[in-house]
Amino acid sequence: MKQEDWINEILNSANDIDPVLPSKELMDRLNQVAPSETKGTIIPVRTVWMAAAGIALLVLLNVFTLRQYKKAQTIQEETVFETYYDHLNNYNV
């Protein structure tokens, strides 16, 4: 068979495709789409990401504030300690 004839035969091989009927299982699956979807509320992905970003920001702010607080507390303790010894030295105790 010549190449051109073979190519034409291939190109025509999808002519007259018989229609395929959907199976009962598929119809059941399709009919389940509606109730399963309407049961819950659909939240857009963007909203989920916004909420996640908000929570992450809150956690970061908390960590930052706690660190600052601890730093401030250490400085305060050191200052109190130093002033106590300064006081003793000043009075030659």
Q: Which is nearer to other proteins, 36 or 90 (CB)?
A: 36
Tell me 1's DSSP state.
Answer: -
- By CB under 8 A, residue 93 contacts other proteins: no
Could you tell me the smallest distance in angstroms from the CB atom of residue 5 to other proteins? 10
Using CB under 8 A, which residues numbered 10 to 49 contact other proteins?
10-11, 13-14, 17-23, 26-27, 29-31, 33-35, 37-38, 42
**Smallest gap from residue 23 Cβ to other proteins (A):** 8
Residues 50-89 that bind other proteins (CB under 8 A): none
Distance CA 46, CA 60 (A): 21
CA-closest candidate to residue 44, choices 32, 52, 36, 55: 52
Return d(Cα 28, Cα 25) in angstroms, integer.
5
- Smallest gap from residue 1 Cβ to other proteins (A): 8
| 3-class DSSP state of 30 | helix
Q: Which amino acid is at 85?
A: Y
